[in-house]
Homo-oligomer: A and B are copies of this chain.
Amino acid sequence: MQTIDDTMQRSLRAFDDYRITTPQARAVFLETIAANIEALGDALIEQASKETNLPAARLTGERGRTTMQLRMFAEMLREGSWVEASVDTAIPDKNPAKPDLRKMLVPLGPVVVFGASNFPFAYSTAGGDTASALAAGCPVVVKAHPAHLQTSVMVAGAIARAIETCGMPKDVFGHVTDGSFESGKYLVEHAATAAVGFTGSFKGGKALYDYAAARKNPIPVFSEMGSTNPVLFLPDTIRQNGQALARQYAASITLGMGQFCTNPGLLIAMQGEGLSVFLQSLETEIAAVVPAKMLHEGIHKAYYEKMEAALKEKGVSLVSRSSRQPETMEALPAVATVAAKTFLNDPLLHEEVFGPYSLLVQCAGIEEMKAVWKSLAGQLTTTLMGTDTDFSEHRSLLDLAPSIAGRIVFNGVPTGVEVCPSMVHGGPFPACTDSRFTAVGNGAVKRWVRPVCYQNCPDSMLPDALKDANPLGIWRLFNNTVGKR
């Protein structure tokens, strides 16, 4: 642990220099990291594919998403309004006199990021957590995911070269390659650590949360821990579009062998004529899916264990399983079904089965669908599939939807997470440890900052974002009015 202690101490020292770099300098830094990752070329894709079993096309796409994210945060830094500058000028003749008050966001300190096994680029070494924390002005220490260690080493090299080229503090990025459980705990408990970002299992994410909460000085942990992403199929659309819905959902359930935290693991529908068509089509579609290798042995083993456990539960019956025999490390896509009454009384069936598995809950009516929906723990996403008739007949579902998840999808699939300002990738516990933030999109930077207020500070000593003349030309709240002044 001495090496890790040294890494964290260096990170803390680097914070003093890094926090006062200009937004422009940090923007160039992020863009240089992006360019350096691209410069690694096919070798990076090949290495990642070897370690994760993910196909080159998918990895190439994910690399594009990663460099796009880095550039998005660079653009955010150049535009500058993200610091939420607010100015209230003095009112000396108020009783008592109102002082001059100005506020903006400042970085928290060294952020520890845990790489995600299912996103070796976009949510690992130079992924969304790292990019947003570096943008905020926080040094980052990444604990490489052991399932793609060499990929992580290559990306860490790209960051190290950017640090040198851009003249950034040498230790603004640290890379921990010790894959042990203990090193993760040690990193979260280290006095220099100011915040933690994690994407992965509930067990892992919750453990990190607990370590952080038990510290002498607790620190924020943003663990994104996945969910079952319930999909409500309303009666009219099931009647009218059963076959098309089955095709759409078979594809979403098995996309990337179900290894997405937004995988639709729970389908909720009403019994009736339409449902049998939907089920029959789903059976055919799932049976035709070609299995593929999963990310690593741990995930492969857990998939089969959790799926088999779910299938063994009383009242659960298999709808369809891929008809091909799986080879080593391959996942067998599967869909099962259960009656709502059984589901409501069986907590095991509420748990996520990470992989290409989905459970269809059959309900007697719309009230039972609502009861199933409301019985679920916090979710990253929830989806409403319906026709205009469905929505006009069941408007009350809309009032309920925000309490279920961080993102509400209409007539689509939850897989696919757009990177943009309006995205929310987060949600009530246990989807996340802090529902007030998002892990994807520009808002992700808000996890690593806090507001600071300057009272009666001479103009020349204020940060640029708060100076009278607004030299950065950013949007500010000026005497409670939004404007570029």
Chain A residues engaging chain B, CB cutoff 8 angstroms: 16, 19-20, 81, 86-88, 96, 98-99, 101-103, 106, 108-109, 209-210, 213-214, 217-220, 377-378, 388, 391, 395, 398-399, 402-403, 405-412, 416, 418, 420-424, 426, 428-430, 433-438, 442-443, 446, 449-458, 461, 475, 477, 480, 482
Contacts and interface: CB of A to CB of B under 8 A. Distances in A.
Contacts of A451: 406, 424, 426, 436-438, 443
B453 A408 contact: yes
Contacts of A99: 412, 416, 418
Contacts of A456: 409-412
B398 A452 contact: no
Given A86-B421, A213-B213, A391-B461, 11 more contacts: A103-B424, A103-B443, A213-B218, A220-B434, A407-B452, A407-B455, A410-B456, A410-B458, A412-B455, A421-B480, A424-B452
A422 B102 contact: yes
Contacts of A20: 399
A422 B479 CA distance: 9
A236 to B, nearest CB: 15
Given A420-B101, A421-B477, A424-B103, A399 B455 contact: no
A87 B450 contact: no
- 4 tightest Cβ-Cβ pairs between the two chains A and B: A213-B213, A424-B453, A101-B422, A407-B453
Given A398-B461, A443-B451, A456-B410, A218 B423 contact: no
Given A407-B452, A433-B218, A458-B391, A418 B98 contact: yes
A384 B217 CA distance: 26
A455 B217 contact: no
A450 B403 CA distance: 10
Contacts of A378: 217
Q: By CB atoms of chain B within 10 A, which of A398, A461, A475 has the most?
A: A461
Contacts of A88: 418, 420-423
21 contacts: A19-B399, A88-B421, A98-B418, A103-B422, A103-B423, A210-B213, A213-B213, A217-B428, A391-B461, A395-B461, A398-B461, A406-B450, A410-B454, A410-B455, A412-B455, A412-B456, A420-B480, A421-B477, A421-B480, A424-B452, A436-B450
Copies of this chain present in the complex amount to: 2
A405 B106 CA distance: 11
B399 A81 contact: no
Nearest to A89: B422
Given A86-B422, A218-B433, A424-B452, A106 B411 contact: no
Nearest to A484: B482
Q: By CB atoms of chain B within 10 A, which of A219, A411, A434, A450 has the most?
A: A450
Given A422-B101, A451-B426, A108 B377 contact: no
A96 B81 CA distance: 29
A98 B420 contact: yes
A18 to B, nearest CB: 11
A190 to B, nearest CB: 15
A429 B102 contact: no
B436 A449 contact: yes
B406 A452 contact: yes
A220 B436 contact: yes
A217 B480 contact: no
A101 B423 contact: yes
Nearest to A391: B461
A81 B102 CA distance: 19
Contacts of A395: 461
Contacts of A109: 403
A428 B225 CA distance: 26
B408 A454 contact: yes
A20 B395 CA distance: 13
B453 A406 contact: yes
Given A416-B96, A421-B480, A402 B452 contact: yes
Q: By CB atoms of chain B within 10 A, which of A102, A219, A408 has the most?
A: A408
A64 to B, nearest CB: 11
A7 B254 CA distance: 45
